[in-house]
Amino acid sequence: MLADNSGRMTSKPSITPFREADKPSQIAARYNGARMALASGARLGPYEIQSPLGAGGMGEVYRARDTRLDRTVAVKILPAHLSSNPEAKQRFEREARAISSLNHPNICTLYDVGHEDGIDYLVMEFLEGQTLADRLVKGPMPLEQMLKCGIEICEGLERAHRSLAFLPVPDSQTLC
């Protein structure tokens, strides 16, 4: 459940309407009550934002449509408050290089990187599913499911460690 703009609980994120004349940096959406930089309909290059997926300390992630290839993707942007921070930009670029060096079924694929209207972004494979954090809210996992999920996570982390491209992976970004 999410909180809408009035604080009521809803199952859908609240999206501020997009006007064709708006630039991405001038539009806003909300996710779990937090203000996000882009709204449904905003565009970053060929990627049309559909809805917010989540936000954290180093980025905001959106569901988007790749208008060239007609596929759903995940777009991660560096938030405005970090875009002028050289260290944050370097970390964002390192993340892109690290992800691009990985090829494993348990790690999402990086498709593209870009910069538009002052916004740095990564475009990744969109993965359907429930995050580990959301699953654990429901209570303990059955042993068989826990082992399957744990093995998949370990295989992905092992591949990332072997490539020296390891980045911390919080349970809110892990699908089971």
Residue 8 has pLDDT above 50, yes or no: no
Give the domain extent around 167.
Answer: 129-176
- Residues 41-67 as b or e (16 or more Cβ within 10 Å = b): bbbbeebbbbbbbbbeeebbbbbbbbe
Does this model's pTM top 0.75? My answer is no
* Whether 63 and 124 share a structural domain: yes
What average pLDDT does range 82-86 have in this prediction? 87
* Whether 113 and 135 share a structural domain: no
Percent of the chain scoring above 90 in pLDDT: 40
CA distance 86 to 136: 36
Q: Compute the C-alpha angle 65/109/100, nearest 5°.
A: 120
* Whether 134 and 118 share a structural domain: no
Residue 137 has pLDDT above 50, yes or no: yes
